[in-house]
Structure 1
């Protein structure tokens, strides 16, 4: 038998090789975001792996704080639906006198509190475990310079939270809304708000709003 045939016979009878086993995937690590301006520029915030958590992208935060101005010295700020705290800690980094972070998820609350301790921000940053809408409804009227709203996208534009925020923000203050769909001028006006600036980054629509005069606003009663 020719040698080429012998070689083919040996190959045919050779047992098939088992594919190399792939190592088991490692547990998904917690992510992180960096603050992009102010006192704690480039400091990292942990982003725990929690359902629906999507920190505000760097590009969007940079745009927002360009709109607001880089110096928030003396401002009173609420970061409702705080999540990673990226929005609220950015305000504190830029000089806000008081920032309250509202979050309901206990894992995120612990992460937010750990960040305050690590940054030495306990004197200006308060972490509160609460439902954001209920907390806003319990606040006195016109108590805040800036209310940051980044609710889960499943809530849509979350009109009740916007109405509650409209009541607690000062007449010369600002509301920020991040959502999966745009809010137009008519929709904002129906909530007692004026669309000051807006933009989009991928699937994220972001809006900076100011209160309309009370005579033109349909504001939720306290």
Structure 2
């Protein structure tokens, strides 16, 4: 049977590695954040990113993680279940010399089920139509993964409508692009 999967790349838009293209394996369900959406998101995050400790759940291509590091984040912890995608993240990390990136080849919910350390910025971009968001929100809060005033980015299918986030997460920005709705929440201490 022929392999019809194409290999692609993600581009780092700005910062230290501006213009670098990093290879991405074509994995089922992988939807790298488009450059247009990524540019908007990182404009929103501009003041909050410098020296931030970031957590990227359902990392996929690493597009958000590598962009954050390029723009001055202190560190990024990437969680990716797919072995091929995680291996490519590791190769890309080594290629650009991102020593402040850690990659865990595991399930995001399993990872969040353990006691965590507070993160300043969290990227949540789960596979669509898997109903994972509520569990992610609960585990982030219950296990200490969020800094008191964390910024939480959520990318989800537009059809979900309004999200049932914890009451002390306040919607700061929201936009749609095609079938994707992306939002930025600011957390206040509960």
The TM-score, its normalising length taken from structure 1, stands at: 0.77
Residue 128 of structure 2, aligned match among 149, 153, 170 = 153
Q: What aligned pairs does 1:1-222 form with structure 2 within 5 A after superposition?
A: 27-69=4-46, 72-121=49-98, 123-140=99-116, 143-156=118-131, 158-166=133-141, 167-181=144-158, 182=160, 184=162, 187-190=164-167, 192-214=168-190
Question: Which protein is bigger by CA-based radius of gyration?
Answer: 1
Which structure is richer in relative contact order (CA contacts within 8 A, separation 6 or more)? 2
Runs of 4+ in 1 over 6 A off after TM superposition: none
* Gap change, CA 1:189 and 1:139, over 3 Å in 2: closer
| Aligned-CA RMSD value | 2.0
Name the SS for the 2:61 alignment partner.
coil
Given that 1:39 and 1:94 are in contact with CA atoms closer than 8 Å, whether structure 2 keeps it comes out as yes
Q: Which segments of 5 or more consecutive residues in structure 2 lack a partner in the other structure?
A: none
- Matched length: 186
* Gap change, CA 1:146 and 1:139, over 3 Å in 2: farther
